[in-house]
């Protein structure tokens, strides 16, 4: 069995969500809850962004969580140095490789991306830390550009490469194909994937990446992130529960609801009603034909057992929700 790792980026990608402004205390609580659920990696912003960020990262590292803290850092010497000056487990580097980002964001050619990145990767490795390099906007990048960059960073010693769908344009089929090309070409490094939800397929794309050979999937709590966000932790857990349950052995699924509710409260909102598992209605049955069957056997209309998440179902009788039924 290929071992799958989840990386939660609520404290980095999630902070890029227009509705999110976490206090320091909230960041600590979120990290503790992620740890309690059992998420292996927690991504944090670059310490160079502000003294408060640096301070927060030091404190998150000092919590001694089982979750490992990874800083998300531009391929800039000072940024990397600032990360290495903190006790983070590792560094997630990123650099836009698509024509769009090369034209409208940083304006640099592929050769420059390589010459900027390679020495920084060596530096991080020499410091004994974990390093990943991500080709931002991988799914609008020319495949020759993409593989030239990956060839160079793998040669330089990265432990993982990342392929984010930064604009939410990819389809499950495209994701699986491109990830598989990379998995075959770079058998000695891990592969990370990250999916924006602009066209509503972040969860499907993320699972397709695993099926193509990725070993690390990015999520955030409730799927918050730039624009309308990325794959949600609850969504990915619902997929793994059904299709790859052995990947959830080390998770405590009964803490998921608390985590989702806590982050929703930080955002001053409710958990979206479309959220798998943690929606207020995820285990609510309303139509007569549904409630009758569910009272006979919940498997009629439930593929996830609410009890496994410490939750219970509710059944509407006579057009009103009249009771919370114990898990049967």
Ligand X SMILES: O=C(O)CCC(=O)C(=O)O
The window from 1-9, 125-133, 143-151, 270-278 that contacts a second copy (CB under 8 A) reads: 270-278
Is residue 108 within 8 Å of 99, Cβ to Cβ? no
The window from 10-18, 53-61, 82-90, 122-130 that contacts a second copy (CB under 8 A) reads: 10-18
Nearest partner of 276 among 322, 236, 240, judged by Cα: 236
Q: Which is nearer to ligand X, 63 or 289 (CB)?
A: 289
Distance CA 78, CA 83 (A): 9
Which of 58, 89, 106, 290 does the annotation list as catalytic?
290
Q: In whole angstroms, how close is the CB of 37 to a second copy at the nearest point?
A: 17
The window from 52-60, 159-167, 270-278, 318-326 that contacts ligand X (CB under 6 A) reads: 159-167
Q: Which does 182 bind (CB under 5 to 8 A by kind): a second copy, Cu ion, ligand X, none?
A: none
Q: Which is nearer to ligand X, 162 or 223 (CB)?
A: 162
Rounded to 10 degrees, the C-alpha dihedral 158/161/164/170 comes to 160
Across the chain, the runs of DSSP E, i.e. the strands, are 5-8, 41-44, 68-74, 90-96, 130-136, 160-165, 190-195, 216-219, 284-285, 313-317, 320-325
User: Which residues from 173-192 bind a second copy, rule CB under 8 A?
Assistant: 173
Say whether 290 is catalytic. Answer: yes
Nearest partner of 206 among 189, 231, 187, judged by Cα: 231
Show the tokens assigned to 228. 């309308």
The total number of residues written for the chain in this structure: 328
13 binding ligand X? (CB under 6 A): yes
* Binding interface with Cu ion (CB under 5 A): 13
Q: Which residues bind ligand X (CB under 6 A)?
A: 13, 72, 92, 94, 134, 136, 162, 164, 166, 194, 196
């Amino acid at each position: 069995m290929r071992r799958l790792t989840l990386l939660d980026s609520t404290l980095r990608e999630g902070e890029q969500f227009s509705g999110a402004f976490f206090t320091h205390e909230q960041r600590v609580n979120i990290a503790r809850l992620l740890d309690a659920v059992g998420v292996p990696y927690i991504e944090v912003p670059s310490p160079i962004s502000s003294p408060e960020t640096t301070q927060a990262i030091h404190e998150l590292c000092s919590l001694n969580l089982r979750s490992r803290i990874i800083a998300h850092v531009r391929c800039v010497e000072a940024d990397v140095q600032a990360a290495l000056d903190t006790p983070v487990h590792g560094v997630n580097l990123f650099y836009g490789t698509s024509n769009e980002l090369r034209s409208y964001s940083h304006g640099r050619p592929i050769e420059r991306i390589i010459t900027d990145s390679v020495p920084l990767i060596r530096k991080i490795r020499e410091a004994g830390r974990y390093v990943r390099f991500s080709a931002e906007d991988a799914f609008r990048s020319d495949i020759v550009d993409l593989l030239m960059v990956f060839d160079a960073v793998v040669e330089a010693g990265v432990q993982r490469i990342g392929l984010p769908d930064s604009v939410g344009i990819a389809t499950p089929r495209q994701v699986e194909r491109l990830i598989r090309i990379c998995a075959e070409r770079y058998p000695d490094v891990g592969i990370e994937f990250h999916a924006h939800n602009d066209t509503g397929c972040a969860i499907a794309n993320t699972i397709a990446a695993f099926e193509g050979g990725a070993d690390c999937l990015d999520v955030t709590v409730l799927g918050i992130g730039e624009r309308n966000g990325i794959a949600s932790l609850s969504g990915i857990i619902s997929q793994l529960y059904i299709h790859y349950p052995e990947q959830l052995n080390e998770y405590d699924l009964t803490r998921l609801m608390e985590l989702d509710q806590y982050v929703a409260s930080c955002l001053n909102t409710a958990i979206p009603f479309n959220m798998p598992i943690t929606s207020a209605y995820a285990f609510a049955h309303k139509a007569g034909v549904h409630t009758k069957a569910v009272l006979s056997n919940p498997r009629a209309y439930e593929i996830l057992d609410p009890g496994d998440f410490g939750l219970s179902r509710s059944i509407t009788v006579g057009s009103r929700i009249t009771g919370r039924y114990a898990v049967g």
